[in-house]
């Protein structure tokens, strides 16, 4: 397993695609980001391209804001759009707000309309407000699930893979009145 920037550079030089992929898949995204942060943005992009998109995005979200911007600006526009479409709503809105306006607009033009509208809506909130720190993501489950199956389903990895932490679980009755659980 790669432990240093030199190990990673060695894998890049030897085109060790399998080694790079395994390093990303088998390590915590924070540890991967820590190791990759020692590389140049172009090298980081090259490494992230060897990972599954979901793994690459998880690692990307652990980089500092400055490193995220440097990496993002080194990507092709289409690749940027793909990242934005898969990132958590609040994280992608924060990233777009930090980009140069011309770059942000050119990338947003390539993002699916529903995601583009979500990014613009979240980006419009003033810093420090609830709207600026919350996500528009939600989980929807069939109404017929008996307790505690809804809770267990919300805690499962596939459902929450693209979601921020869930602090509140609202359940509604057939009449749509909300209750705390």
- In the chain, what are the domain boundaries? 5-133, 149-180
Q: Is there a cis peptide before residue 11, judged by omega within 30 degrees of 0?
A: no
Among the listed residues 68, 14, 59, the one whose alpha carbon sits nearest the alpha carbon of residue 41: 68
Q: What is the CATH number of domain 5-133?
A: 1.25.60.10
- Share above pLDDT 70 across residues of the chain, in percent, rounded to a whole number: 75
Question: What b-and-e string marks burial along 96-118, b requiring 16 or more CB atoms within 10 Å of the CB?
Answer: bbebeeeebeebbeebeeebbeb
* Model confidence pLDDT, tens digit, residues 80-99: 999 999 998 888 998 999 99
pLDDT at 101 over 60: yes
Reported pTM: 0.70
Distance CA 123, CA 117 (A): 10
**Mean pLDDT computed over every residue of the chain:** 83
| Confidence bin at 131 (pLDDT 50/70/90) | low
Contact at 8 Å (CB) between 123 and 93? yes
Q: What CA–CA distance (Å, rounded) separates 148 from 68? A: 39
Please give the Cα distance from 32 to 23 (Å, whole number).
8
């Amino acid at each position: 397993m790669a432990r240093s920037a030199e190990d990673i550079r060695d894998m890049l030089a030897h085109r060790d695609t399998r080694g790079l992929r395994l390093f990303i898949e088998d390590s915590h995204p924070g540890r991967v980001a820590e190791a990759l942060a020692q590389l140049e943005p172009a090298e980081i992009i090259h490494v992230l391209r060897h990972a599954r998109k979901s793994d690459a995005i998880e690692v990307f979200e652990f980089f500092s804001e400055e490193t995220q911007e440097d990496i993002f600006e080194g990507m092709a526009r289409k690749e940027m759009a793909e990242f934005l479409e898969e990132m958590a709503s609040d994280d992608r809105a924060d990233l777009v707000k930090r980009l140069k306006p011309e770059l942000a607009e050119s990338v947003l033009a390539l993002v699916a309309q529903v995601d583009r509208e979500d990014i613009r809506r979240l980006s419009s909130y003033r810093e420090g407000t609830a709207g600026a720190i919350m996500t528009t993501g939600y989980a929807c489950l069939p109404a017929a699930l008996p307790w505690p199956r809804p809770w267990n389903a919300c805690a499962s990895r596939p459902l929450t893979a693209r979601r921020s932490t869930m602090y509140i679980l609202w359940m509604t009755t057939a009449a749509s009145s909300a209750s705390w659980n």
